[in-house]
Amino acid sequence: MEQQYPSKLLENAVEEFAKLPGIGRKTALRLVLHLLRQEPQVIRNFADALLTLSSEVKHCKVCHNISDTEVCPICSNPKRDATTVCVVENIQDVMAVENTQQFSGLYHVLGGSISPMDGIGPSDLEIESLVERVKAGGIDEVILALSSTMEGDTTNFYIYRKLSGLPVKVSIIARGIAVGDELQYADEVTLGRSIVNRTEFNGKY
Amino acid sequence: MEQQYPSKLLENAVEEFAKLPGIGRKTALRLVLHLLRQEPQVIRNFADALLTLSSEVKHCKVCHNISDTEVCPICSNPKRDATTVCVVENIQDVMAVENTQQFSGLYHVLGGSISPMDGIGPSDLEIESLVERVKAGGIDEVILALSSTMEGDTTNFYIYRKLSGLPVKVSIIARGIAVGDELQYADEVTLGRSIVNRTEFNGKY
């Protein structure tokens, strides 16, 4: 049944919130009423943060990550290893890899993965710019760190073929049993892959 | 561990979203990145809806519900029964009662319920204005439709005492087994109350 809002202005704000993924009308109403209970300045700060982001945010012209500057802080950091480039789907993935503190190279953000079902082809992603980046020289290794899905696998293979013939090593992140997982609950594909791709053990992890 | 955002502007927008109740930083990031993928006009519409709401929304001077006008559409509707006033905690409750299509009177929105734990006393709510409304005359019945919680019960009792002596009937919405509920799963307080407050049955519901 159609909800009857006591105010058109309220309804508009609720409708805008309800457009966001995973936010239904009841949640949207709760969020808008929460904002209305705050000082007007809180709503202004909220709106300003979004408007400023929308108008001023850039994409790093090297790695295509979101950035406040032409070249992002990671790409312009002289301490990072510019010979290794980690290819990821999106910004959250950059943050996830950064959080591991196990990678000191640079990134290349594709903007998604090849998905014919969603109408996303190679030309919709930053793949050509990755090839250009490798062709420009100075990169020894490209690490493919995409999701372990059919779309990720397709994209890995497409990039692998695009880079073949170029003087660069292409590697892929390890797939296997997640740290903390019990063997009996692992799916057989993952377990099989972890046996095939076993690594030498010298007593340390 | 502190998340490292690639952009300060992005971080600001995420922080603003994460201030909303029930929205964590991961969800906030997902929502902001979703907005960033839309046309800039979408973000502008979103921000405008909030800013317009914040600056132009009013509270009905009769019932204190949110309204675009001085007096809300319900209070100014001549077809509604102005002799009956339903007292509710908030705007969502008005919408919930309206959705039942079982009530044709007017409302009085308290703005919450008495909760010493949260520092909300009678003077923080629209109780005095309810008493004034009744004293002004023309109201035959006040229906208390507050939550069936300790705070709701306290508020019901406080309002009941404030209205005692005034020529108005005070009633309270029925408490009992919810429609569709099985008896064996009902809590004993609710079941007990439903027996004490049994109503005459003439074959119809």
Please judge whether B6 and A73 are an interchain contact, meaning their C-beta atoms are less than 8 angstroms apart: yes
**pLDDT score, position B27:** 94
**pLDDT score, position B10:** 94
The yes-or-no verdict on residue B1 having pLDDT over 50 is: no
Interface test with B, best of A27, A42, A54, A104 (most B CBs within 10 A): A54
CB A102 within 8 A of CB A119: no
CB A23 within 8 A of CB A30: no
Which residue blocks in B81-201 are alpha helix, DSSP H?
91-100, 128-135, 150-163, 188-196
Interface test with B, best of A2, A3, A7 (most B CBs within 10 A): A7
- What mean pLDDT comes out for the span B152-168? 94
Interface list for A 16-75 with B (CB within 8 A): 16-17, 19-23, 27, 29-36, 40, 42-57, 60, 65-68, 72-74
Q: How high is the ipTM of this complex? A: 0.81
- Which of the pair, B163 or B180, is modelled with greater confidence? B163
- What mean pLDDT comes out for the span B127-143? 96
pLDDT band of residue B189 (cuts 50, 70, 90) is confident
Query: For chain A, which residues score pLDDT lower than 50?
Result: 1
Residues of chain B in contact with residue A42, where contact means CB-CB under 8 angstroms, are 19
Tell me the per-residue pLDDT of B83-113, one tens digit each, with 9 for 90 and over. 999 999 999 999 999 988 899 999 999 999 9
- Which of the pair, B181 or B31, is modelled with greater confidence? B31
Interface list for A 111-150 with B (CB within 8 A): none
- Which of the pair, B50 or B199, is modelled with greater confidence? B50
Tell me the per-residue pLDDT of B139-152, one tens digit each, with 9 for 90 and over. 999 999 999 899 99
The yes-or-no verdict on residue B3 having pLDDT over 70 is: no
Residue B132: closest CA among B103, B108, B154: B108
| Cα–Cα distance for residue pair B55/B69, rounded to 1 Å | 13
**Of A7, A35, A54, which is closest to B67 when you measure between CB atoms?**
A7
Please judge whether B21 and A34 are an interchain contact, meaning their C-beta atoms are less than 8 angstroms apart: yes
Q: Which two tokens stand for residue B1?
A: 């561990």
Please judge whether B65 and A6 are an interchain contact, meaning their C-beta atoms are less than 8 angstroms apart: yes
Residues of chain B in contact with residue A64, where contact means CB-CB under 8 angstroms, are none
